[in-house]
A = this chain, B = another copy of it.
Amino acid sequence: MASSVGPSRARKVTLRDVAQLAGVSVATASKALNGRDEVSEETRRRVTEVAERLAFTPNTLAQSILAGRSGTVGLLTNDLDGRFSLPILMGAEDAFGAGQMSVFLCDAREDAIREQHHLKALLGRRVDGLIVVGSKTDPRPPLGSKVPVPVVYAYAPSTDPADSSVVVDNVRAGRAAVEHLLATGRRHVAHVSGDVSYSAARDRAAGAGAALAEAGLDHVGPVRYGSWSEAWGRAAVAALLDADEPVDAVVCGSDQIARGVLDALRDRGVRVPDDVAVVGFDNWEPMISGSRPGLTSVDMRFQDMGRRAAERLFAALDGSDHPGVEAIEPRLVVRGSTVPEA
Q: What is the interface of chain A, defined by CB distance below 8 A to chain B?
A: 5-8, 10, 12, 55, 57-62, 64-65, 68, 70, 72, 75, 80-81, 86-87, 89-90, 93, 97, 100, 102-107, 114, 118, 120-126, 145-146, 148-150, 160, 162-163, 229-231, 256, 259-260, 263, 286-287, 289-290, 316-317, 319, 323
Contact = CB atoms under 8 A, between A and B. Distances in A.
A7 B61 contact: no
Contacts of A12: 68, 126, 148
Contacts of A259: 290
Given A106-B102, A319-B7, A286 B289 contact: no
Contacts of A120: 57
Number of this chain's copies in the complex: 2
Given A7-B148, A58-B124, A97-B106, 13 more contacts: A5-B160, A5-B323, A8-B148, A12-B68, A57-B123, A60-B125, A61-B70, A61-B125, A89-B105, A97-B114, A230-B290, A231-B290, A259-B290
A57 B105 contact: no
A163 to B, nearest CB: 7
Contact of A65 (B62, B106, B289): B62
Given A61-B125, A126-B61, A290 B89 contact: no
B86 A80 contact: yes
25 contacts: A6-B323, A7-B319, A12-B68, A57-B124, A58-B124, A59-B126, A60-B126, A61-B65, A61-B125, A62-B65, A72-B125, A80-B89, A86-B86, A89-B105, A90-B107, A102-B104, A102-B125, A103-B104, A103-B106, A229-B289, A229-B290, A230-B290, A231-B289, A263-B263, A286-B286
B5 A163 contact: yes
A312 B172 CA distance: 48
A64 B125 CA distance: 10
A89 B86 CA distance: 11
A293 to B, nearest CB: 12
For the complex of A and B, 10 pairs with smallest distance between CB atoms: A230-B290, A105-B105, A60-B124, A7-B150, A60-B125, A61-B61, A61-B65, A57-B123, A5-B162, A57-B124
